[in-house]
Amino acid sequence: MPLLNDILKFNASFVDNKDYENFITTKKPSAKAVLLTCMDTRLTELSTRALGFKNGDVKVVKNAGATISHPYGSTMRSLLVAIYALGAEEIIIMGHKDCGMGNLDVDSVVKTMKERGITNQTFDIIEHSGINIQNFLGGFSDVTANVKSNIETIYHHPLFDQTVPIHGLVIDPHNGSLEVVQDGYKKLNQLT
Ligand SMILES: [Zn+2]
């Protein structure tokens, strides 16, 4: 795989030239926040730069669709650890327009899997073990509703500290503009 070769070649000079010195920071986020957003390539840098964050300011959790798919999955675990152990005091859930997980065609994904060698028997075994493939791989039709749904999942989590504000945002990957889905401070005021 040429990509790995390129990575290792670059890395050797990166370390030799001490380019890493530009990125030295601490484990604790200086803006005291954790950001959950999408793995979309357009957001690789935009997701933090458009919010005014620089390296070291926030914990960043990324996955397909900025979605908490299970209350005891790795995304929720990351948010809880960020809050309880790594210095985050606020949560930002940021979906984006034109998300690849919006109206994802699961049938098409399954078809591609089968073309690449995953057998019908494997799908049968998975279904019989209680996994619904549509639910497992499925996306969402409305990004704003998805952000709200994620926020509710966190608020209903028994291990969540209800005094932590959760902000909901939707970013436009074309120009970086933000829409506020939920102002976490207002929600906190409603709860108290
Ligand atoms: Zn996305």
Reported as a single tens digit per residue, the pLDDT across 49-81 is 999 999 999 999 999 999 999 999 999 999 999
Is 156 annotated as ligand-binding?
no
**Cα-based distances in Å from 112 to 39, 107, 141, 181:** 21, 9, 22, 35
Provide CB contacts within 8 A for 144, sequence distance 6+. Answer: 95, 170, 179, 181
CATH numbers and ranges of domains, the chain:
2-98+142-191 (3.40.1050.10), 105-138 (no CATH)
Amino acid residing at 2: P
Query: Known binder of ligand: residue 99?
Result: yes
The answer to the question of whether 19 is labelled as a binding residue is no
Average pLDDT over residues 115-121: 97
Q: What is the mean pLDDT of residues 127-142?
A: 94
Percent of the chain whose pLDDT exceeds 70: 98
What band does 10 get if pLDDT is binned at 50, 70 and 90?
very high
Query: What CA–CA distance (Å, rounded) separates 12 from 16?
Result: 6
Consult the annotation and say whether 128 binds a ligand: no
Cα(133) to ligand 1 centroid in Å equals 19
Residue 24: which residues within 8 A CB-CB, separation 6 or more? Answer: none
CA of 72 to the centre of ligand 1 (A): 22
Q: What is the pLDDT of residue 145?
A: 97
User: Under a CB-based contact definition with an 8 Å cutoff, are residues 95 and 70 in contact?
Assistant: no
- Ligand 1 centroid vs 102 CA: distance in angstroms? 8
Distance 13 CA to ligand 1 centre (A): 33
Percent of the chain beyond pLDDT 90? 93
Of 96, 86, 79, 186, give the one whose Cα is nearest residue 140: 96
79-102 pLDDT, tens digit per residue, is: 999 999 999 999 999 999 999 999
